[in-house]
Copies of this chain bind each other. A is one copy, B any other.
């Protein structure tokens, strides 16, 4: 039987430990092609590169795997993979990650990892974004591999409804053993920003973003709640931002 073609990308950059773990899982399930950013792209959201040309270079850092590094954003990587490198091939699955740090709740909006997965879903490729709740560069990805494999295999064999991507977040190792997998909604939440301010070596004032995550959805069946209970959270997500609940009441502004 022909092996499924799996596109692997991320936002932490092509040499990040998280993507290595994802490639190792994907290799066991299909033919793997990697197209990932040549530099860290955390927080790039759904950014695309319009004002500059893009570069693609083949790299040989994963034995036996076709891999390219790209000068653009995670979304650029998926667009170039689909439209240039894999133009005439059918991609069965796109996986993005494994991100170093949570992309649960509102973080999906800022995340290059998840935006890459969303771009793949727009290209009609089933896709999954994976994140581990551990920011450390030497985070241990081993214990989550079996779960990553289970979810990839599920999508490869059973599919997901067209236009969806799965936002998968995995509790950090210290919270193991993982209790299982929960399918849930994105928690309503926000960041309360705090800026570190300072004076640079040239005497100019600067502001550097930091902040505190605030969950405002304590009672719902949410990804944050699942993660706090030791479960892997899976949120079926899509690109339609219409707030259908508010639509009827706003009809009064029609003219």
- Residues of chain A at the chain B interface (Cβ within 8 Å): 40, 42-56, 73, 75-76, 79-80, 82-84, 106, 108-110, 115, 118, 122-123, 150-151, 154, 158, 160-161, 163-164, 166-167, 180-186, 188, 190-191, 193-195, 198, 200, 204-209, 234-247, 249-255
Residues of B within 8 A of A40 (CB): 51
Q: A79-B209, A246-B236 are in contact. Are A254 and B186 (CB under 8 A)?
A: no
A43 engages B53 (CB within 8 Å):
no
The smallest C-beta distance from A137 to any residue of chain B, in angstroms, reads: 14
Q: A151-B253, A253-B181 are in contact. Are A209 and B76 (CB under 8 A)?
A: yes
The distance in angstroms between the C-alpha atoms of A207 and B71, with both chains bound, is 10
A43 engages B54 (CB within 8 Å):
no
The distance in angstroms between the C-alpha atoms of A126 and B234, with both chains bound, is 30
A47 engages B50 (CB within 8 Å):
no
Residues of B within 8 A of A80 (CB): 195, 207
Summarize A's interface: helix, strand, loop or mixed. mixed
A83 engages B195 (CB within 8 Å):
yes
Residues of B within 8 A of A158 (CB): 252-253
Residues of B within 8 A of A198 (CB): 53
The smallest C-beta distance from A50 to any residue of chain B, in angstroms, reads: 4
| CB-CB nearest in chain B for A48 | B43
The smallest C-beta distance from A51 to any residue of chain B, in angstroms, reads: 7
Residues of B within 8 A of A252 (CB): 158
B193 engages A79 (CB within 8 Å):
yes
The distance in angstroms between the C-alpha atoms of A53 and B183, with both chains bound, is 37
The smallest C-beta distance from A105 to any residue of chain B, in angstroms, reads: 10
Which of B46, B183, B243 is A238 in contact with, Cβ under 8 Å? B243
Closest 5 CB pairs of A and B: A45-B46, A53-B206, A238-B243, A47-B47, A236-B246
